[in-house]
Amino acid sequence: MPYHIEPTKIIDGTLYTLLIFSVITWTLILFKIWQLSKNSYYNRGFSKSFWSAANLAQAKALPANVSRGSQARIARQGFAWLQDFEQTNGASLKYIGSPADLMEQSLLEQLQKEQRSMESGLTMLASIGSTAPFVGLFGTVLGIMHAMHEITASGSTSLDVVAGPIGDALVATAIGIAVAVPAVLAYNFFLRRVKHQRSGMEHFVASFLHVALRADAKGSN
């Protein structure tokens, strides 16, 4: 430890770092609850309206207040691909190949964008959950070193002199664990929610492909 830096400043810096970690953790938790709950609510409403439509044209014309959420954006991507394909009549390099495979690729690209959006912030939660205990332990080690120096300087080794400073130093470890536990629990919870919503999007992609290709086959007859 550099001698020109007071140990108490480093320990305080550790505690402030853990405080920042805690603020970030709870901000992300509240944001992800809002984001995933809102997306799930929008998907339920859109799915009900989409599959109640008589045909693709009616599904495409759903009002804006219904066409919200990740599944609605995937559907818009599919409709945009169909419209561009019809306008160019497939006369473009990007349309060389099976229309079904090309449309699926376009839908999966949008699905990946939606997944990245839902996963945003999870890496930060995982990082805080894994590093916060070590940051707290770092503060504890420095605190114990500082306490030992103070005890040596005082020349007394009685229990009441030793226990106080060391007990204060252990607070940093406790805070580190207290910061890490919500981050880890939230990460596991949100990861499961993201996987569940991805499963719903994958099912929607497969169903949209089936309906779109079937409608296209009817139109060509």
- Residue 6 within a domain: no
Give the contacts of 197 (CB within 8 A, at least 6 positions apart).
36, 39, 40, 43, 70, 118
Q: Kindly state whether residue 16 falls inside one of the protein's structural domains.
A: no
* 83 exposure class (CB count in 10 Å sphere: 0-12, 13-18, 19+): exposed
Query: What is the structure's pLDDT at 138?
Result: 87
* Per-residue pLDDT at 3: 47
- Domain of residue 80 covers 22-50+67-131+181-220
Residue 3 located in a structural domain: no
Number of domains in the chain: 1
Residue 194 domain-assigned (yes or no): yes
Grouped pLDDT means (10 residues each) for the chain, 221 residues: 59 88 96 95 93 88 89 92 80 73 91 94 95 90 76 64 67 91 96 94 92 63 41
pLDDT value of residue 217: 44
pTM here is: 0.82
- Whether residue 149 is contained in a domain is answered as no
Per the domain annotation, does 156 fall within a domain? no
CA distances from 99 to 198, 199, 214 (A): 24, 24, 12
What confidence score (pLDDT) does residue 216 get?
54
Residue 148 to residue 166: CA distance in whole angstroms:
8
In a domain, 126, yes or no: yes
Other CB atoms within 10 Å distance of the CB of residue 208: 22
pLDDT at 2: 47
The runs of H, that is alpha helices, within the chain are: 7-52, 56-60, 70-88, 99-119, 122-154, 159-220
Q: Is residue 152 part of a domain?
A: no
- Residue 143 and residue 10 in contact, taking contact as beta carbons nearer than 8 Å: no
